[in-house]
Amino acid sequence: QSALAQPASVSGSPGQSITISCTGTGSNIGTSNLVSWYQQRPGKAPKLIIYEVSRRPSGASDRFSGSKSGSTASLTISGLQAEDEADYFCYSYGGYTTYVFGTGTTLTVL
Amino acid sequence: EVQLVQSGAEVKKPGESLKISCKGSGYNFTTWWIGWVRQMPGKGLEWMGIIYPGDSEVIYSPSFQGQVTISVDKSISTAYLQWSSLKASDSAIYYCVRGYSGTSQFDPWGRGTLVTVS
């Protein structure tokens, strides 16, 4: 199955809010609430920041929030900080053998 | 503390075999899935497959079926990813990650194992 589509890059200034989209199909995001988001800082392993579309794991900043509409999931980061500069990947379950990540988005904090 | 500790970096030649490991600690290893994810240099994340240590059930991503073997030794809380004949295109960082059936909560991740085939 093809990777979920994300914008290659987004940017924002400190204090602003940004939103990263993740577009799938009716076979994955469109019919599943098993959507999660991961932050990957340079040279580090990915880290879970949102799961089940909008739930935050223990320890994740409340500046991260998730939502879904149709076949598109979104990650919003409010109150941008320099430490948010990283790559962000979405994930969706699409069936028994189909676990698919997004193409990834690089966030630059200006 | 829940942890996944992966084996160290490997440098191999094309055609060689390799088995890398991922040891879980701080939780009941047999009741959580362990997934393997590939990240090629400068690229995104790709699911390779997932194994349930409780009964060794493996689900391979179609793209990796037949290319790798995922296994587990629950007696030592360790999952494995192995190749029988490496190719240069297998050069990547390989991550293991813990997951739970019926959720999208994959956490924590191991630090990754860098495999270089040259």
Predicted confidence pLDDT, tens digits, chain A (110 residues) = 789 999 999 999 999 999 999 999 888 898 889 999 999 999 999 999 999 999 999 999 999 999 999 999 999 999 999 999 999 999 998 877 788 999 999 999 99
Contact A64, A19 (CB under 8 A): no
pLDDT of B103:
86
pLDDT at B99: 93
Whether B95 has its CB under 8 Å from any CB of chain A: the answer is yes
pLDDT score of A71: 94
Instruction: Give DSSP secondary structure letters for chain A.
Output: -PPBB--SEEEE-TT--EEEEEE--TTTGGG---EEEEEE-TTS--EEEEBTTTBPPTT--TTEEEEEETTEEEEEE-S--GGG-EEEEEEEEEETTEEEEB--EEEEE-
Identify the pLDDT of residue A50: 98
| B60 in contact with chain A, both atoms CB, cutoff 8 A | yes
**Cα–Cα distance measured from residue A63 to residue A12, given in angstroms and rounded to the nearest whole number:** 14
Low-confidence ranges of chain B (pLDDT < 50): none
Residue A4, pLDDT score: 94
Cis check for the bond before A42: say yes or no (omega within 30 of 0): no
The confidence score (pLDDT) of residue B63 equals 92
Inspect the interface and report whether the beta carbons of B44 and A91 lie closer than 8 Å: no
Query: Å from A47 to nearest chain B CA?
Result: 7
Residue B67: predicted pLDDT? 97
Write down the pLDDT at residue A26. Answer: 83
* Structure confidence at residue A22 (pLDDT): 97
Total beta-carbon pairs less than 8 A apart between chain A and chain B: 65
Residue A23: CB atoms within 10 A of its CB come to 18
What pLDDT was estimated at residue A98? 80
Test mutation, A91, A99, A103, chain B, max B CBs within 10 A: A99
- Residue B101: the pLDDT is 78
Residue B9 DSSP code: P
